[in-house]
Chain A
Amino acid sequence: MKLFSFKGGIHPPENKDLTENLKIEDFKIPKEICIPLLQHIGVVLEPLVKVGDRVKKGQKIGDSSGFLSSPVHSSVSGVVKKIEVRPFPVSGRVNTVIIENDYEEEIFEYPKYKEYEKLTKDELLKIVREMGIVGQGGATFPTHIKLNPPKDKKIDVLLINGAECEPYLNADNRLMLEQTEKVVKGIDIFRHILGVQRVVIGIEENKEEAIHKMKEEASKYGMEIAVLKTKYPQGGEKQLIKAVLDREVPSGKLPSEVGVVVQNTATALSVYEAVIEGKPVIEKVLTVSGLGVKTPKNLRVRIGTQFKEILDYVEIDREKTEKLVMGGPMMGLAQHSEEVPVIKGTSGILALTKKEMNPYKSRACITCGKCVDACPMNLSPLMYAKLARFQEWKEMDKYDLLDCIECGSCSFVCPANRPLTEGIKIGKAKLRAMKR
């Protein structure tokens, strides 16, 4: 069988076995829900409710007229207790709506469209926006914008990212397995919106069962499955396009440049639920794992649930846990505390111990070039740490710093544990400031 792949990349320990055969469990609905008014790339939303208001489950509680925005909805029915600035898992603090759950589960009704083929592209895009759908691979880019590429770019392929190449995570894997029909139908809605014929679903080789089930279902719609080599970052948009279609997205451009739109499988499910079931994004399936928890699980969680409640449930060992990460171990965000809520971009919560992190004191670079071999963008990461140290930002630009996708492969393989990704992130910020 042909396995699709790209040049570079790494093979971190997968650790998927901790949760890969565990069915998605519904997590208990918490008494208090915290919905940050920012769950997408873009600006903070305006609250549409005030303290004391009663809200229904699914009711829109925050929105903005900004171009790059996507509304948020209440994930329970209850009363707005507070609107205040609270810790936010992406960075710093953000205005957050706190709702006390009344456990009545009174639903805010939206229209349901079983026959989505009858809707126009614009009508569907409007639903996608109103239901708060953002890219659930973790980047949280508003989906309605991604599904509406510039008119001059002709899109001929819809590529579905089912790679889930981050170690530990199994949320997409389980969704493809347990909700196959809905996911595929969601993909068909994407296809309808984009008006393309060819659909390719890329899944990594290590998800044998998911590949099998998806193949069966997708063939009914004439969609293709591309089995990908298990390798990180196989799910990187540009890597995925290169691997499956052998098209190279030009530096600084978007996939639409080569006629492709990439969407995640979990996002496809959200679109299905939004259009056919009239359900906004108020839940998130995520993997809770890492050697710091006793019973790793795949959970369906209401958005706004505090990490702490989830971690108590999976019996976290707080002594042993060194780092708490939202997302995967390669690109996830380290959390200071458990007092942060699950948001639309939360694909996993990991309690990592020293043992699995493998810390090692940073040493001098021996120019072994392992980072160069690992870089999926074909850059020279070893130069960045060096140049960042001497604050040579302009020189970093010459080494194509802005093309870095921050996948962390270089830092992972470095035997000297150089702060490569750190140097890159600082360098990027400095360079962007200089270019402004």
Chain B
Amino acid sequence: MDKLYRVGQSPHIRTKETIESVMYDVVIALLPTLLVAIYFFGMKALYMTLVAVISAMLAEYVSLKLMKREITIFDGSAIITGMLFAFISPVTLPYPYIIIGSVVSIVIGKMVFGGLGHNVFNPALLGRVFLMASWPALLTRYVNVDGSAGATTLDYLKKGKDLMEVFGHNVYLDMFIGKMAGSMGETSALALLIGGLYLIYKKHIDWKMPVTIISAVFILALIFGQNPFYHILSGGLFIGAFFMATDMVTTPYTTSGKIIFGLGVACITMLIRLKGSYPEGVAFSILIMNGVTSLINKYTKPKKFGEVKSNE
């Protein structure tokens, strides 16, 4: 008999892009931040990241095994979660806690929801908040780049101190390149910006999300009489804006939804920063907004083509 060809619905060709290629692009985008962290905080930053990544992958492996699913630990998503979790932790965090946080991120943050694509909350942020609730003191033990322990700029702000007075020199530039106390991957706005621009260039994220968040925080700071530059350059705002709020799985897919999500994140962040008992609010605000993502999607359905009056 003559050859029978494969049939199936059109289209018969597809993009070269895969889940893996998208995920590894995000990993690439996180590399500048890793390098800056190693530069400022030493090799400990690299080891911490490796521990977080390996424990995230192992946690995913075990979960998939138990769920009798195909093992997909190399699709890049666990690597991203591990990296992000390490980046939002202070470099002083002892290894056992990194492992706990990473495992919680993967197991509670992702696998219990059904794995990649099904989770409601950003896994890395969930891991971070879990540690924050369990061992709050560990999560705020920041070190300055010279190794001395110290408060973050947001702590100073909260105490109503003028940063110029505290540091004795213009701190904007330090804050922008990451020469300051804070979680290891949060401090360098520059490195995060480079990674973010790469993702925008690759069309994996929409520029409207980070731009909405950062500009809304800037404007809110102005309204409340705060220095807007301190607010956008400090804390986890850049990593949140470029890498957490743009997480495909847990944030809206519609354009107007992204803007609403971004505004929500900015407002809640400022509310926590100005009125809450935590110095930082980005993690909470993104998690809270994650919870309403599906609702936002539902009410921001794009206007379909042809939704115009007909001449009848």
Residues of A within 8 A of B (CB): 12-13, 167, 238, 242, 248-253, 257, 308, 318, 321-325, 329-339, 350, 352, 356-360, 363-370, 372, 376-380, 382, 399-400, 403, 406, 408, 411-417, 419, 421-422, 425
B15-A415 in contact (CB<8A): yes
A358-B5 in contact (CB<8A): no
* Chain A residues, CB < 8 A from B10: 325, 329-334, 406, 408, 421
* Chain B residues, CB < 8 A from A329: 10-13
Nearest CB to that of A236 among chain B residues?
A: B305
Q: With A368-B22, A372-B302, A415-B22 known to touch, is A250 a contact of B308 (CB < 8 Å)?
A: yes
Nearest CB to that of A363 among chain B residues?
A: B19
B-side interface residues, number (CB < 8 Å): 44
* Chain A residues, CB < 8 A from B277: none
How far, in whole Å, are A238 and B303 apart by their CA atoms in the complex?
16
Beta-carbon contacts of B281-312 to A below 8 Å, as 1s and 0s? 00000000000000000000111111111110
A334-B302 in contact (CB<8A): no
A403-B305 in contact (CB<8A): yes
A364-B12 in contact (CB<8A): no
Known interface pairs A356-B13, A358-B13, A367-B117; 11 further A-B residue pairs with C-beta atoms within 8 A, sorted by A's residue number: A251-B305, A257-B311, A323-B8, A332-B10, A334-B8, A336-B5, A357-B14, A363-B75, A366-B116, A368-B204, A382-B253
What are the nearest 6 A-B pairs in CB distance?
A364-B117, A369-B253, A408-B11, A251-B306, A250-B310, A368-B248
How far, in whole Å, are A259 and B209 apart by their CA atoms in the complex?
40
Q: With A366-B249, A368-B204, A415-B22 known to touch, is A378 a contact of B17 (CB < 8 Å)?
A: no
B305-A334 in contact (CB<8A): no
Residues of B within 8 A of A (CB): 2-19, 21-22, 72, 75, 115-118, 203-204, 206, 248-249, 253-254, 301-311
A334-B12 in contact (CB<8A): yes
B15-A413 in contact (CB<8A): yes
B14-A249 in contact (CB<8A): no
What is the distance, in angstroms, from A247's C-beta to the closest C-beta of chain B? 9
A368-B9 in contact (CB<8A): no
* Chain B residues, CB < 8 A from A249: 306
How far, in whole Å, are A148 and B14 apart by their CA atoms in the complex?
38
Q: With A366-B117, A372-B302, A403-B305 known to touch, is A323 a contact of B19 (CB < 8 Å)?
A: no
Q: With A250-B309, A421-B10 known to touch, is A403 a contact of B304 (CB < 8 Å)?
A: yes
B5-A364 in contact (CB<8A): no
Nearest CB to that of A376 among chain B residues?
A: B305
What is the distance, in angstroms, from B312's C-beta to the closest C-beta of chain A? 9
* Chain A residues, CB < 8 A from B18: 360, 415-417
Nearest CB to that of A421 among chain B residues?
A: B9
A403-B306 in contact (CB<8A): yes
Nearest CB to that of A249 among chain B residues?
A: B306
What is the distance, in angstroms, from B145's C-beta to the closest C-beta of chain A? 36
* Chain B residues, CB < 8 A from A380: 253-254, 301-302
A323-B12 in contact (CB<8A): yes
B304-A365 in contact (CB<8A): no
A322-B6 in contact (CB<8A): yes
* Chain A residues, CB < 8 A from B310: 250, 253, 257
What is the distance, in angstroms, from B262's C-beta to the closest C-beta of chain A? 15
A352-B306 in contact (CB<8A): no
* Chain A residues, CB < 8 A from B118: 364
Nearest CB to that of A356 among chain B residues?
A: B13
* Chain A residues, CB < 8 A from B3: 318, 321, 337-338
Most buried by A among B19, B22, B203, B305: B305
B2-A323 in contact (CB<8A): no
B14-A323 in contact (CB<8A): no
How far, in whole Å, are A336 and B9 apart by their CA atoms in the complex?
12
* Chain A residues, CB < 8 A from B16: 358
B305-A238 in contact (CB<8A): yes
How far, in whole Å, are A325 and B303 apart by their CA atoms in the complex?
34
Q: With A334-B8, A364-B116, A372-B253 known to touch, is A248 a contact of B13 (CB < 8 Å)?
A: no
Nearest CB to that of B115 among chain A residues?
A: A364
* Chain A residues, CB < 8 A from B254: 369, 372, 380
What is the distance, in angstroms, from A288's C-beta to the closest C-beta of chain B? 15
What is the distance, in angstroms, from A235's C-beta to the closest C-beta of chain B? 15
How far, in whole Å, are A12 and B22 apart by their CA atoms in the complex?
18
B304-A357 in contact (CB<8A): no
A-B contact pairs, 22 of them (CB 8 A): A250-B309, A330-B10, A334-B10, A337-B4, A338-B3, A358-B16, A359-B14, A363-B72, A363-B75, A364-B116, A366-B116, A367-B117, A367-B253, A368-B248, A399-B301, A400-B304, A408-B11, A413-B15, A414-B15, A415-B18, A421-B10, A425-B9
What is the distance, in angstroms, from B58's C-beta to the closest C-beta of chain A? 21
* Chain A residues, CB < 8 A from B5: 321-324, 334-337
Nearest CB to that of A364 among chain B residues?
A: B117
A352-B248 in contact (CB<8A): no
* Chain A residues, CB < 8 A from B14: 357-360, 411-412, 414, 417
How far, in whole Å, are A242 and B308 apart by their CA atoms in the complex?
12
Nearest CB to that of A398 among chain B residues?
A: B301
How far, in whole Å, are A377 and B302 apart by their CA atoms in the complex?
10
What is the distance, in angstroms, from A244's C-beta to the closest C-beta of chain B? 15
B117-A365 in contact (CB<8A): yes
* Chain B residues, CB < 8 A from A325: 10, 12
Nearest CB to that of A354 among chain B residues?
A: B6
* Chain B residues, CB < 8 A from A336: 4-5, 7
Q: With A335-B5, A366-B248 known to touch, is A248 a contact of B19 (CB < 8 Å)?
A: no
Among candidates B9, B117, B307, residue contacting A251 with C-beta atoms closer than 8 Å? B307
What is the distance, in angstroms, from B20's C-beta to the closest C-beta of chain A? 9
B12-A352 in contact (CB<8A): yes
How far, in whole Å, are A346 and B39 apart by their CA atoms in the complex?
62
